[in-house]
Chain A
Amino acid sequence: MSLLEITNVSKSFGPVHVLDGVSMSVDRGEVVGLVGDNGAGKSTLMKIVTGMYTADQGRLTLDGDDILTHSPGERRRMGIEMIYQDLALAKQQDVAANIFLGREPQKKVLGINFVDRATMRAEAKAMIDRLGARLPAINRPVGSFSGGQQQSVAIARALTFDPKLVIMDEPTAALAVREVQGVLDLIRQLKASGIGVILISHRLNDVLSVTDRIVVLNHGRAAANLTTAQTDMAEVVSAIVGGADMADAAAHESRG
């Protein structure tokens, strides 16, 4: 039984068919790359997994349990975390508030639950330090941070509560060279500790270096499901652009 099983999921936004019977799965300790053109439907598929969108049809299971009817909050509690492409941060709130949003630690005073801000701040700081992220100050609104720093906060938010499955939608888009290596190392660590990872990225070299399998979406269909050890840049690019003449594109990516 896979950790996450997506079966035959379809989704339209009004007249636009975005996903057309997509199936894919992720095992514990497996890293799956999800690639495809702009607008192929990658983010939409993953938002269906986290419950931000509802599928028109299809099945979704986590550890064999049907999760299609679960709310985003319930799915999060079950261990599904996602780093969104737009980061989905509350820009006027500080680092700790963002990391713990929706799951603030509480302490009871006179029978009333208060947010335990000291614990929150300490644990947020520990998490940021563990990730090796360099932030100007932990008690500042995250909107005042650079794009890469904000990305670090979004990553910290996804990892703080022992997830089973981590979905990363372009987690390295805003990161400098060294930070990109940091995220790739992090993915290897997650894999080693038995966490399932889905990595969406246009940086195919990264995808080839860190994943076990690569699923290619093309116009809302799963066009290919490749084992990374047995494929190469040319095959991945070919699946992305849909079998058209792609020698030039593949050669370009290989150079990058």
Chain B
Amino acid sequence: MTSPDAGRMRPGPSLWSRIQSGAIERFHIRIESLIVLLVLAAAMAVLSPYFLSWSNFLNIFLATATIGVLAIAATYVLGSGGLDLSLGSVMGLAGVVGAWVAVKAGLPTPVAVAATVGAGALAGFVNGLIITRAFVPAFIVTLGMLGIARGLALVINHGAAIYGLPAAMVYLGQGRPLGIPMPVIIFIATAIVMHILLAYTRYGRHTLAIGDSENAARTAGINVQRHRLSLYTLSGALAGLAGLIFATRVNAGDPTAGLTYELTAITAAIIGGTNLFGGRASILGTMIGALIMGVLQNGLNLLAVQSYYQQMAIGAVLILAVFIDQWQVRKESRV
């Protein structure tokens, strides 16, 4: 080990890697994703004169709200080593259920709101029950639920959307207290609560510990199955909340709402630094990931790119994000 290269083989931590690990330790985010977001925003600002306006800024958050809430759900489930592919379908089902309760059953808005979130939570609870009690893999159960929930959403009103929500309910999607759209407020508030829950409470720590090593969690006395059940229920409830935001924004319970949204939501979570295999996750990172998806979509819209191509772009970004993550992991474990 006296060769002149010896020193070069094991360099001390560079400034860059110190920033990287600092960002992860302090804020649980991958610094790269923040840079991607800024670069993307700068590129959009150059490409489109409308990009850098306050109203477009709010537009991006508004467009990100639904996906953002779903991405928060994906963050919890992925962080625990699980998977929820039914997010988009459950969101669609919840919106239809809420609209049905408000319009067809004519029940008051608070009941309709509770029914929307509750329908999502129930779907998630069923997912969790089958995963934890019948030991069917999450991939299969939530894939099945993707089909079941979508089918149910279509069955309820024979495939047609339910229009004409009461004004109080529509306010949740279209109201603008202090000029800020309600969905943005709901999104930010949800993110703050879920961030605190994940980073600063036992619940959040146990979620990541289970995703890291189920065996470690079990030997520590954590009731892993019960925790998993609660996580899928939480995931469903958040999908219900996303359904509420969407339905009240477009003023309709649309059975096709949220189609393929799970793809975007999972992508956002992974771009934000969530470990695909569990054990590491942060809501702050997911917010950045969701905003990247939002900016991407908003920018492609401003540039009048057809939605088919947008789908392709999102799919490509997902694969790219996982590739970069795995590449980082391999690099770290090499030396």
Q: Which residues of A contact B (CB under 8 A)?
A: 50, 52, 71-77, 82, 84, 86, 88-93, 97-98, 101-104, 106, 112-115, 117, 139
Contacts and interface: CB of A to CB of B under 8 A. Distances in A.
Given A50-B219, A139-B25, A104 B209 contact: no
A52 B220 CA distance: 10
Given A73-B221, A101-B220, A92 B279 contact: yes
A102 B206 contact: yes
Contact of B202 (A52, A74, A106): A106
Given A102-B206, A114-B200, A89 B213 contact: yes
A101 B216 contact: yes
B221 A77 contact: yes
Contacts of B213: 88-91
B311 interface: no
A102 B206 CA distance: 7
Nearest to A104: B202
Given A104-B202, A113-B201, A115-B200, A92 B218 contact: no
B265 to A, nearest CB: 22
B44 to A, nearest CB: 34
A122 B77 CA distance: 31
A84 B279 contact: no
Contact of B219 (A77, A84, A113): A84
The residue in A88, A98, A114 that gathers the most chain B C-beta atoms within 10 A of its C-beta is A88
B130 interface: no
A121 B274 CA distance: 24
B326 interface: no
B30 interface: no
B280 interface: yes
A90 B222 contact: no
Interface string B272-299: 0001000110000000000000000000
A88 B219 contact: yes
22 contacts: A72-B219, A73-B220, A73-B222, A73-B223, A88-B215, A89-B213, A90-B216, A90-B279, A91-B212, A91-B279, A92-B280, A93-B209, A98-B216, A101-B209, A101-B216, A101-B217, A102-B206, A103-B220, A104-B205, A112-B201, A115-B201, A115-B202
Interface string B194-233: 0000001110011011001101111111110000000000
Contact of B201 (A90, A91, A114): A114
Contacts of A139: 25
Given A73-B222, A76-B220, A103-B221, 10 more contacts: A71-B221, A72-B221, A88-B220, A90-B212, A90-B213, A90-B217, A92-B208, A92-B275, A106-B202, A113-B202
Contacts of A50: 219
The residue in B200, B202, B217, B223 that gathers the most chain A C-beta atoms within 10 A of its C-beta is B202
B201 A93 contact: no
Contacts of A74: 221
B21 to A, nearest CB: 9
Nearest to A114: B200
A54 B212 CA distance: 24
Contacts of A76: 220-221
Contacts of A71: 221, 223
A156 to B, nearest CB: 13
A193 B223 CA distance: 31
Contacts of B201: 112-115
Contact of A72 (B200, B202, B218): B218
Which 10 A-B pairs give the minimum distances between C-beta atoms?
A73-B221, A102-B220, A90-B212, A101-B220, A92-B279, A90-B216, A88-B219, A76-B221, A102-B221, A92-B212
Contacts of B216: 88-90, 98, 101
